[in-house]
Amino acid sequence: MPAEEQSFPSVWARPRRRRREQPALSQEQIVSEALQLLDSEGIDALSMRRLGNRLGAVATAVYWHVANKDELIELVIDEIYGEVEVPEVDDPAAWREAAAATARSLRSMILRHPWIVSVLDEVALCYLGPNLMRASDRMLGVFTTAGFDLVEADQAMKSLVAYVLGMAASEAAMLTRLTRSGRTEQEWVESMSATAEEAARPYPRLHALYAADPFSDPERVRVDNFGYGLDRVLDGLEARRAAAKN
């Protein structure tokens, strides 16, 4: 079906098509191959024709399952949200550890699939995939177990996710650029450290920071920075939780 004829707002809203014979390709095959293409070459490499060629099928075989590229991306996004692990908790004292584990799992998923940050806004109104909804339901469970009512649990969940997406999107963009350059993160830092320190000389606090060589292990710095911000977000939610009890 041509994209201009598509009237459904989401792949999850479109009724399943039926026919007597089985289609040449399954939806699982299409999503798996699309994910491999996205992970190896990025979002710009994805097209229905390119995907059909990789699958050894004409594009019409792909269109049997998805009407257009946007629907395909929705399916792939939901597939990788299945990688996000959200602990189920029944002890209010365990909420913070569970929320932190979820945040780290979400960050790890984004860094494994950095192309996702460029398309999340395209499905922002259509969060209907089963993996994403399952993860969201479990996250609500973490915060309701903590003592938040359902509405505030939703707000707490969205605040936590927004922090993770903001931090991980910046990391993903940087790592994608490094991959294109052919250099490792460590090589890039080492090549820029002297220049950065010199550029910071007119700015005493920045110069002192750069001179202290805080970037000798850039991956560790990223992990530490993420953890610091995560702790502050959770501190705020813990304070709100305590205040709500009083």
Kindly list the averaged pLDDT for each block of 10 residues, start to end, along the chain of length 246. Answer: 52 60 76 95 90 80 83 92 96 97 97 90 70 95 97 97 95 88 86 86 90 80 96 98 83
**pLDDT at 158 (0 to 100):** 95
Estimate the crossing angle of helix 69-81 against helix 27-41, to 10 degrees: 90
**pLDDT at 5 (0 to 100):** 47
**pLDDT at 2 (0 to 100):** 43
Neighbours of 215 (CB within 10 A): 18
Single out the residue of 16, 14, 122 nearest to residue 69, CA to CA. Answer: 122
Query: Cβ(83)–Cβ(109) under 8 Å?
Result: yes
**pLDDT at 197 (0 to 100):** 84
pLDDT digits (tens, 9 = 90+) for 36-47: 999 999 999 999
**Total residue count of the chain as it appears in this document:** 246
Report pTM. Answer: 0.87
> What tokens does 225 get?
């920075």
